[in-house]
Amino acid sequence: MKKTIGMGGFTLAEVLITLGIIGVVAAMTMPTLINSTQGAQYKTAFKKSLTVLSQAVVMNIALNDYDLSQIVAGTNATAAADAKGAQSLWDIFHNRLNIVRETATDTFTDAAGDADQWLIVSNTDKGDYEQFATNHIVSGGTNKFPTLEANKKIPAGLTAIFMNDGITLIFDNTQSNCMKKNTNIGVANDNYCFAFVDVNGQKAPNRVVQCDNGLSSFTGETPGADDATCTVSSPTDIYPIAMYDQSVIPASAAARAVLYNK
């Protein structure tokens, strides 16, 4: 007589319970996983944007022999200051970046027919980047951040340059002589130029990066210095930057926290 060994199996109820547990776990973890993936993409794109903009300045020095400290105010969003060879902030980036469109040739009309560019969902209004700018303006500088207001669109008068990798540079072209204080050469005050980079252009979320604890206080540190009190667990897509001489750096504690992986 051969003894038959029974082959056990899962019942339908056990299978359904297992699938239910897997579904609950997936529902709980997927949002976190998606946010983490998007945050990593934004962080990588921000680092890339700083590199690309810095390289554009260095290339301009090599080819045209002038840097950010020598630019003059442009007459409009996308033009040099005059016809005598003086160059605006727009000229450096227009001539040295791979651009697919800009404010001079495309008004970015949206589906509703609104030509005022894309909606800013939120920003750090009166946050550390604004205080950063004010701190250096009162010390003698004249340049300023372009104004981005929450729940409004980007002002049409600003310069917006779309690069071929999807990154958008937004700035006021009337800024000039972007330089750092250096009394050895007669520069008595900081005069940084300011801008925003939107690492994925008109795509959502269109949020200016913020510290996890809200708007961090400005501590008066020098540009590029780290703020140990600020951490960013979920990077977003818009970053304030400061430009001077041959440098392009993050201009807020939150932007620096993303760059330094805090």
SS3 assignment for 8-60? CCCCHHHHHHHHHHHHHHHHHHHHHHHHHHHHHHHHHHHHHHHHHHHHHHHHH
Residue 248: what pLDDT?
A: 93
Considering the domain boundaries, does residue 110 fall inside one? yes
Considering the domain boundaries, does residue 128 fall inside one? yes
pTM above 0.85, yes or no: no
Q: Is the pLDDT of residue 171 over 80?
A: yes
The residue ranking higher by pLDDT, 193 or 102, is 193
Residue 114: what pLDDT?
A: 56
Residue 44: what pLDDT?
A: 92
Instruction: Tell me the range of 75-89, 169-183, 202-216, 233-247 where mean pLDDT is highest.
Output: 233-247
Kindly report the backbone phi and psi dihedral angles of residue 93, in degrees, each rounded to the nearest multiple of 5, phi listed first.
Answer: -80, -35
Considering the domain boundaries, does residue 160 fall inside one? yes
The residue ranking higher by pLDDT, 77 or 195, is 195
Q: Is the pLDDT of residue 47 over 80?
A: yes
Residue 108: what pLDDT?
A: 54
How many domains in the chain? 1
Considering the domain boundaries, does residue 7 fall inside one? no
Residue 52: what pLDDT?
A: 94
Instruction: Tell me the range of 65-74, 84-93, 211-220 where mean pLDDT is highest.
Output: 65-74
Residue-wise pLDDT for 105-162, tens only, equals 555 555 555 555 677 776 544 444 454 555 444 455 677 777 777 777 777 778 888 9
Contact between residue 100 and residue 132 where contact means Cβ atoms under 8 Å apart: no
Considering the domain boundaries, does residue 224 fall inside one? yes
Q: Is the pLDDT of residue 244 over 80?
A: yes
Sign of CA dihedral 172, 160, 225, 69: negative
The residue ranking higher by pLDDT, 54 or 208, is 54
Range of the domain at 24: 12-259
Considering the domain boundaries, does residue 252 fall inside one? yes
Question: If pLDDT is split at 50, 70 and 90, which confidence band does 212 have?
Answer: confident
Contact between residue 105 and residue 189 where contact means Cβ atoms under 8 Å apart: no
Computed over every residue of the chain, the mean pLDDT equals: 75
Contact between residue 242 and residue 130 where contact means Cβ atoms under 8 Å apart: no
Taking alpha carbons only, the member of 144, 175, 178 closest to residue 247 is: 178
The residue ranking higher by pLDDT, 253 or 38, is 253
Residue 217: what pLDDT?
A: 44
Considering the domain boundaries, does residue 178 fall inside one? yes
